[in-house]
Amino acid sequence: MLLPAGQKFIDEFFAAIAHYEAAFQHVGFSYLAVKFGTRFEILRGRIFLRTAPPPTAPSHFESFHVRAGHYALTDLGFDVRGLIDQLLTGSLKTPHGELFFAAPGGRHGASFQPFHPDGLLNQQRFNVLTLMAGETESIRQPEIDWEIKSGVAAV
């Protein structure tokens, strides 16, 4: 479920990209998830709307407490709207296992930034939609850092 203001931001995002949405033929989703209890919770994720293939092939990393990777949306069976809808249910099934995006009381938030600073640095316009879930437990550092440094990427 989405907070009411969040739906307004999602609608504004899709209105902003509507004129060139069809050009995005290579859409991908990258994520970082950390295990809390028995579940991998998405801490950060980003959907990349590309007109050309990404510069590198999708890859995945998994250790006991961390999963990270990149999927083409076609591999997940979603378009951009479908992926957003699925994330707002609180979970996402992937070829490497289920990821969770839980929100307190089941209510997610969203924000929209039409001129993201990453784009302005290169004189480009990046429309950025942010979806928010609840807070997670704190990450055990430096243990997680060492786990990632010593891990081997899963293919």
Q: Where are the domains of the chain?
A: 4-19+28-150
Query: CB–CB of 44/33 below 8 Å?
Result: no
Instruction: Please choose, from the candidates 127, 42, 17, the residue with its C-alpha nearest in 3D space to the C-alpha of residue 93.
Output: 42
Instruction: Please give the torsion angle defined by the CA atoms of residues 35, 40, 46 and 48, in that order, rounded to the nearest 10 degrees.
Output: 130
pLDDT one digit per residue (tens) for the chain, 155 residues: 787 889 999 999 999 989 988 998 988 898 989 898 899 999 888 888 888 888 887 788 888 889 999 999 999 999 999 999 999 999 999 999 999 998 877 788 888 888 767 766 777 777 778 888 866 556 666 666 666 666 644 43
Examine residue 4 and say whether the peptide bond preceding it is cis (omega within 30 degrees of 0).
Answer: no
pTM exceeds 0.75 for this model = yes
